[in-house]
Amino acid sequence: MPLDVYNVVGAPAAIRRDRSRWPARLDVIQALSGLLLALFVWCHMVLESSILLGKDAMYRVARFMEGRYLLGADYPFLVTCAAGVILAIFVVHAALAMRKFPASYREYRAFRTHMANFRHPDSALWWLQVWTGFALFFLGSVHMIGVMTRPGDIGPYESADRIVSDWMWPVYALLLVTVHLHAGVGIYRLAVKWGLRLWHDPETNLRRLKLARTIIIAFFILLGSASLGVYVAIGIGHRDHKGEPYRPPWEHSATTTQQGRAETAIAPAPTTGVAP
């Protein structure tokens, strides 16, 4: 009888054919959901940073996400649907990741001892993933639920009012740092775990992956900080007009033109005098 059908004490579990494959499948689902969420976070940050190009640019992005330029009208429920899908993926990813969290104080102490003795940077990064993931479960949920329940309140003034007048800036500041640390480190750990080879030399490959991780994290945190600073400045200036939505110049002129036409249409016709 071949060796791999025996339950040999001390032998690797991988040689047992009756071993369940579900842990490996769940790892793949966790990796794919994490990759999808990281790509979404980066795309979302690029769209949010449109405020750096001006209020009109951010207004166009917000209306595009509501379908105005594709469907001819604004449908905020599209934002709610998109946020709901992302929230569902987020919950699945978090549930799968929690399988590897220390489940008891004894496991926590064992890992801390291992990390202190081993002193490997990637072990410390895994611990960073644990804490940032735990924080994101609250910070990310607050943000996404807010987007789902108020999808029409996205715009230069609306978003700035939420950040400043509704005192959400501390949440967004913490979310900014936490989410980009988690995403950047997560993508790096995926690349290492699944053997991404961009250079032939393993040491060069690992060194440049670490450099790319640092650059990506720093770039998005700086980009997000600049965008958040602009929103705060707009919100402070708009504090006395909280709740008033932003209207771009071309909508002002269109409204003025329509009002002028309406006034002309309802104006009484001039009376013509009768010659004596």
**Domain annotation covers residue 228:** yes
Q: Cβ(176)–Cβ(225) under 8 Å?
A: yes
**Domain annotation covers residue 85:** yes
How far apart are alpha carbons 183 and 142 in whole angstroms? 18
**DSSP count for the chain of H helices, then E strands:** 10, 0
**Domain annotation covers residue 254:** no
**Domain annotation covers residue 7:** no
Other C-beta atoms closer than 10 Å to the C-beta of 269 total 5
- When pLDDT is cut at 50, 70 and 90, the band that residue 257 belongs to is low
**Domain annotation covers residue 269:** no
State the pLDDT at residue 253. 64
The label of the residue with tokens 């987020």 reads: 90
How far apart are alpha carbons 128 and 215 in whole angstroms? 18
Q: Which domain holds residue 170?
A: 19-101+122-247
pTM, two decimal places = 0.81
**Domain annotation covers residue 265:** no
pLDDT tens by residue, 152-194: 899 999 999 999 999 999 999 999 999 999 999 999 999 998 8
Q: Cβ(74)–Cβ(68) under 8 Å?
A: yes
73 secondary structure, DSSP code: S
Give the number of domains in the chain: 1
Question: Which of 223-234 are b and which e, b meaning 16 or more Cβ less than 10 Å from the residue's Cβ?
Answer: bbeebbebbbeb
Cα–Cα distances (Å) from 48 to 71, 74, 171, 181, 194, in that order, read 22, 19, 16, 18, 31
**Domain annotation covers residue 237:** yes
Predicted confidence (pLDDT) at residue 254 exceeds the cutoff of 60:
no
Q: For position 187, which CATH number holds?
A: 1.20.1300.10
How far apart are alpha carbons 41 and 181 in whole angstroms? 11
Predicted confidence (pLDDT) at residue 19 exceeds the cutoff of 70:
yes
Q: What number is the average pLDDT over the span 199-219?
A: 93
Predicted confidence (pLDDT) at residue 263 exceeds the cutoff of 60:
no
